[in-house]
Structure 1
Amino acid sequence: MSPINSERKTVRVKYQVEENQDFQLSEEFKAELGEKISILKGYDKIEIELEFIDRKKTVIRIDSNRLEKILSKIYVQVEELKTKRNELVIQVEVSIKAFSRLDRNHSMFSMNQDEQFRTLALGGTFDHLHSGHKILLTIASWITTHRLIIGITDDQLLKNKQHSNQLQSLEERQEAVRKFLERVGPKNIIIETPRLVDVYGPTATDPDIDALLVSQETLPGAQSIDNIRKSNGLNPLKVFVIDVISPHLTHIPQDLTLKISSTHIRAWLNSRDHQ
């Protein structure tokens, strides 16, 4: 596999959001993103620091649904720019000021107690970590107070994936998830990335797990997890659903095909290797 670029650069952007404003990306921010992305290629990276402000309060309350929508708009904007330039592996990362890399107890945010779970689980392949994964993981760290379990599919279950020659190893995928959460999540949660050899993983047997985070696409699997937990004498899990970005979201322009999937990235890498 030929390297896309051996020397990688990182650019940084800051963006402020008023706590209660109707959120739309400003034209100035879009222009700045476009300018920054225009000088990137390959695995270069853009880091965006998101800051919530309320000039009347010292503590800010942001529910997970609002955070999800804001993150989606930012990530989608970057993905549009990447797609137009045909640079699908430019890395993008959105951190949250006064939350990321800080002790949750010292955060300036007041969390909705109905959206806080001591031990949260989710699972997936997490190959070539992309914007959809990053929204999922950021929300997971936002609603977890103690222990976050991210089950990652074992290599043996991925042999029939399209463009499997570009699949990252289990160890690479585990490391990518852990490092992302260390940079974007709070520092005082326990992060576990167990190997998944079936769809259940630790959720089938761990009595301490109290919630499951799923996307709309993986929601049907939640019932089968509860069924096996019941057969093992365990309590059912609270199911928390988010709608990670995909080309089917309503706020993505109809004339733009965003290639936000691990399969598209692997296909793109193969096409570059044959150029």
Structure 2
Amino acid sequence: MAEMKQIDSLWLGADIVTMRDGHYNLIADGALAVDNGELIWVGSRSEMPDFTARQQHTFDGGIITPGLVDCHTHLVFAGDRSEEFEQRLNGVSYADIAAQGGGILSTVRATRAATQQELVRAARWRLDRLLAEGVTTVEIKSGYGLDEQSELTMLRAIRELAQSVPADVRATCLAAHGFPPEFKDNPQGWIDIICERLLPQVKAAGLADAVDAFCEHLAFSPQQVRTVFDCAHALGLPVKLHAEQLSALGGAALAASYGALSADHLEYATEADAR
């Protein structure tokens, strides 16, 4: 009789998604064997080798997947825009809300008034909800400070969050999310601050893993994005882009030309952009 192998833990009785093929390779009534922090066996419970486990977890149904990745979040912010959500449901456009002083600038006002610890506490609740749903890697953006110190505070809050959870948390500097009210008539002034003061500090302190921008008629033009991306590349920071969300401005192609990690939204992207 073969000796039973002792391992750390067994996970039994759930359907398992292995992602091995285009149909996700769902294993009904599956089993997972874990030893020394590594997955050593996965398959149907009926075909499981003889294991004896120090811990056994048995489920009545449910599903086990690989860790989920949420690659675009804005978890760190203060304030509330639920009234704007109602407006959107009633047909008011994103641009009209922004023109009324809402949208990004509404959150900017609240976020600037918050301390780092207040931002961390509020974001931790949101992050915990994601982790409870199976997310193990999450990207979090700044972009609601829109001044030098508030953007740095947001990024420090993200790094603090990363140290407090059992997940891979990546920080993205989205200072080019929009133009601060103070620079409404001087957009180049804000771009200069991003490039000459903010991004060098971000790089030196290791506060971000990437740089993002919002390429849109109510935010940054393609040429303005290029200026920011050139600065990011000069510092060795990869880029990503909010592109073609409200209109087709060529953001997708711009992102591709810089080898961006991602181009997000893309509601107005074309077939040519996909190529």
Question: TM-score under structure 1 normalisation?
Answer: 0.30
Q: Choose between structure 1 and 2 for higher RCO, CA contacts under 8 A separated by at least 6 residues.
A: 1
TM-score (normalizing by structure 2): 0.30
